[in-house]
Amino acid sequence: IALLRSGACAAVDVFAREHDGYRADFTVRSCADALEPRLPLHLINVAREAPYTRFVSDPIDHAFEVLLRRLRPNIVHFGHLNHLSVR
């Protein structure tokens, strides 16, 4: 949020995991951050899959690749990969 508000870059997007037992695993939804509506969140649902039992997830990798191809960022920062994929 601070980076976006600083104006030091053109755009900031966040790719993260969510846990919604009512939606299918590995579906991605985009929404605005509750604290900063200008910050797009891209949330992949991983409710039933146990991502902490392995380090590589093909469906998560694919969803991230699709997002990267669409956004075409100059810089990608990984805060952490917990519950995501390391490939």
Question: What digits encode the pLDDT tens for the residues 39-60?
Answer: 999 999 988 766 556 678 889 8
Nearest to 60 by CA among 3, 15, 10: 15
Q: By the 8 A CB rule, do 30 and 40 touch? A: yes
Report the alpha-carbon distance of residue 87 to residue 82 in Å, rounded.
13
pTM for this structure? 0.83
Q: In this structure, what token pair is assigned to residue 46?
A: 């991983």
Mean pLDDT, rounded, for 77-81: 75
Q: In this structure, what token pair is assigned to residue 85?
A: 């994929």
Say which residue, 5 or 52, is predicted with more confidence. 5
